[in-house]
């Protein structure tokens, strides 16, 4: 599984949509298993990431800054 993470970058009232991550998801659709974790929607995003990785649904993990 490919894990796409979009960190929280705006106050909740602004309602940003992670178009770059959605575009990557569109490319992966039907080719690879993937999951998007959006920090602007999931207020427990880091816990969600840890749960996904902890369940070994992700083969390997690397972080880019």
- With 0-12 / 13-18 / 19 or more C-beta atoms within 10 angstroms meaning exposed / middle / buried, residue 23 is exposed
Mean pLDDT of 11-21: 77
Q: What are phi and psi of 50, to 5 degrees?
A: -60, -40
pLDDT of residue 59: 56
Global pTM value: 0.72
Distance CA 15, CA 32 (A): 28
For 24-51, what is each residue's pLDDT tens digit?
Answer: 999 999 999 899 999 888 889 999 998 9
């Amino acid at each position: 599984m490919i894990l796409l993470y979009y960190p929280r970058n705006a106050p909740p009232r602004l309602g940003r949509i992670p178009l770059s991550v959605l575009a990557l998801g569109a490319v992966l659709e039907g080719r690879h298993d993937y999951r998007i974790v959006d920090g602007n929607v999931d207020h427990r995003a880091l816990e969600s990431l840890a749960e996904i990785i902890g369940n070994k649904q992700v083969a390997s993990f690397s972080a880019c800054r």
